Every structure is written in C-alpha cells, then in structure tokens.
Amino acid sequence: MSTFIDDVAALQACVGALPGPRDLKVIDFLDEHALRWLAASPLAFAMSGDRDGLAVTVAGGERGFVGIGDPRRVSLPRASLDDSSNLRIGQGFGSLFLVPCLGETLRVNGRVASIDDTHIGVAVEECYLHCAKALIRSAFWSAQPDRSDAPMPPRALAQASRLMLLATIDAEGRADLSPKGDPAGLLLQVEGGTAWYPDRPGNRRVDSFRNILAQPYIAAIALVPGSTRILHLTGHARVSTDAAMRERFAVDSRVPKLVTRIDALAWRVEDSAALRRVQPWPATEAPPDLDPAAIFKAHVKLSREGGLQAALVRAAVSIPGLMRRGLASDYAKNLY
C-alpha cells in the first residue's frame, strides 16, 4: 500500500483542520506594522519561479535595505541579492524578512513586476507575519559566528543544517517560501540521491504541501545558523505518511504526521555574500517598537476575510493580552 499522499483531502485529514478562516491573518498591502518591520530588517530569504523552475537566494544589507514604492510594491536592490539571474518579470515571488532576535518572520509574496540594472520591483499580493517556531527550533538567533573557512561537502552540510527555506509554487504560479527549523540531523536526512524532511506543527495553512501536489518541483536552501555557507538543493517532492521514516524524525517521542521525500536530488554548496555582508551573528537587540503579538492582532483586524468565524476571531483577539498569551503558550507547548 502506498504511503504517498496525492490529494488535498487526504492531506488535510493528516494535518488537521484549520483553526479558523485560512487567510485571516493575511493582508494584501504593507500596513504600518509591515513597513516598520521592513525598516528594521537587514536580512531576507527570497524565491522566484514559474513552471520552468524555482530559485531561492539570500538578500541583505543595512537595516531597511528594501525600498518601498507604495503599500503594494517593494523594490530590492539587485546588489543585495546573492543571485538575481533567475528572476523574470511575471514570476511568482516569495520572501521572508527577518529582524534580529525576533523569531517571527514577515512574509511578502507577489509577482516580479519590474527588473532593471539596479532593482527588482515586486507587486505585493500577500503580507503576513509567520510564527516563530521554525527559528526557535533552529536556535537561529542564539548562534555564534563560525570562524572556520573549512569546506563542507553537501551531505555533511545537509546533516548539520538547522534551517531550511523551501520554495514551492501552485498551479497558477503563486509562490510560497516556507521556513523549516530543527536540531541538526532532524531537519534533513539524505540517502543516496534522495532527501527527506519532516513536517512540524505550524499554522496548518499547508501551502507548501498543496503546492507540491500541484507542482512537485521544489527548490530550497539549508544552512547552519552562524555559518555563511548555504546548501542549494532542488528535486521533485512527494508527501508521505511512511511510519518508519516519520519515526526517524521523532523529537521527545513526538512523531511528525508527515514527511516529504525529495527525488532527483541535485545540490551544491556556496558561500553567501549577503550573510557575510549582514553578519547576523551574534544577534543584536530587537527594535522596541516591533511587537509580534500586536502585529498578528492588527493583521487579523485588517484582513478581508468575512463570515461568522472571522468575526468571532476578531472579537477574541481584541481581548487584552489574549494574543500574547496564546503565542507564548503555543511556542512553549507545540514546537513538536
């Protein structure tokens, strides 16, 4: 009997139902909170792609390196990207902007709208804050700089990696860049020409899984926090319930519900100029004016989602302190 999942209904049965309207925290423009986040961010991971392929890269510079044309457009300096050669106008675009010492990341998704010699323009279609679980599990901001320049072969880097940024697209070319974080040895496992990674508790939007069902070609980068070396990998992904493989990724007896297999695996190791430029480790203090709980609350209220469930959730998040307590409890109890 096959352990692979081939339809959305079977997928959702494994991961569980969404706790509320799927897009309740998603807005389609950059609000004041997102603008402050971008102004404080020195580091981002970005992807672009279409049916012809996907690519992931690192971007970074001084805090606020990304330009804001208006609330529905961002501009990335080409010099801030490790590699901008794969970008094409009309491609789906996904990004995660990081702020030192904050586990949450700001997702900005849309389409590549313009390209010239100096900048990449992106039309914003989605903006929302992503939970901190991946960065917490990877101990991203607590890392110290790796002063070693010793080369590391792809297999060894895969084994040591603690953070992965997974790029997928759906049938319409909409992009998703999803962070995956785990202790070394529990993020990626490689056998021959095949790699596996687990699913961990998250927001249950299952965007990357849905995309894999529609378009199985994926791209990713994996890294060890503290090091500027990154592992680029591509391949064809399939989602599985294989019990033996799931057990190999167990943490404190908690077994992931799903694992993903990557076949036709291709990889290479590169040094990231953006990470060397930003020098994110040791991490500096987070800006005092960025409060993830307040941002989640604001985005829920700004969302265009309608219906009774959405109204009830908006009423609930208006209760003072509820969002902050909920996040703290979720991060403490539901990492695995």
In this prediction the pTM is 0.95
Least confident of 21-25, 140-144, 168-172, 173-177: 21-25
Assess contact for 19 and 42: CB atoms under 8 A: no
Q: 144 pLDDT exceeds 70?
A: yes
Cα(57)–Cα(81) distance, rounded to whole angstroms?
7
Assess contact for 335 and 133: CB atoms under 8 A: yes
Assess contact for 305 and 23: CB atoms under 8 A: yes
What does the pLDDT look like over 202-232, one tens digit per residue? 756 688 999 999 999 999 999 999 999 999 9
pLDDT at 313: 81
Phi, psi of 69 (to 5 degrees): -80, -50
Strand, helix or coil at 291? coil
Q: 130 pLDDT exceeds 90?
A: yes
Cα(142)–Cα(144) distance, rounded to whole angstroms?
7
pLDDT level of residue 299 (50, 70, 90 thresholds)? very high
User: Which of the listed CATH numbers 2.30.110.10, 2.40.50.140, 3.40.50.970, 3.40.190.10 matches domain 4-333?
Assistant: 2.30.110.10
Structure tokens at 120: 């990449």
Percent of the chain with pLDDT over 70: 97
The mean pLDDT of 113-123, rounded to a whole number, is: 97
Least confident of 42-46, 71-75, 198-202, 328-332: 198-202
DSSP annotation of 316: H
Q: 292 pLDDT exceeds 80?
A: yes
pLDDT level of residue 315 (50, 70, 90 thresholds)? confident
What does the pLDDT look like over 89-108, one tens digit per residue? 999 999 999 999 999 999 99
pLDDT at 106: 98
pLDDT at 306: 83
Instruction: Round the average pLDDT of the chain to a whole number and report it.
Output: 93
pLDDT level of residue 50 (50, 70, 90 thresholds)? very high
The mean pLDDT of 226-254, rounded to a whole number, is: 96
Counting beta carbons within 10 angstroms of the beta carbon of residue 172, is it exposed (0 to 12), middle (13 to 18) or buried (19 or more)? exposed
Residue position matching structure tokens 């019990």: 243
The mean pLDDT of 13-40, rounded to a whole number, is: 86
Torsion of CA 127, 109, 176, 170, to 10 degrees: 120
Q: Where are the alpha helices (DSSP H) in the chain?
A: 8-15, 32-40, 133-138, 154-160, 207-214, 243-248, 273-278, 292-302, 308-317, 322-333
Domain limits of the chain?
4-333
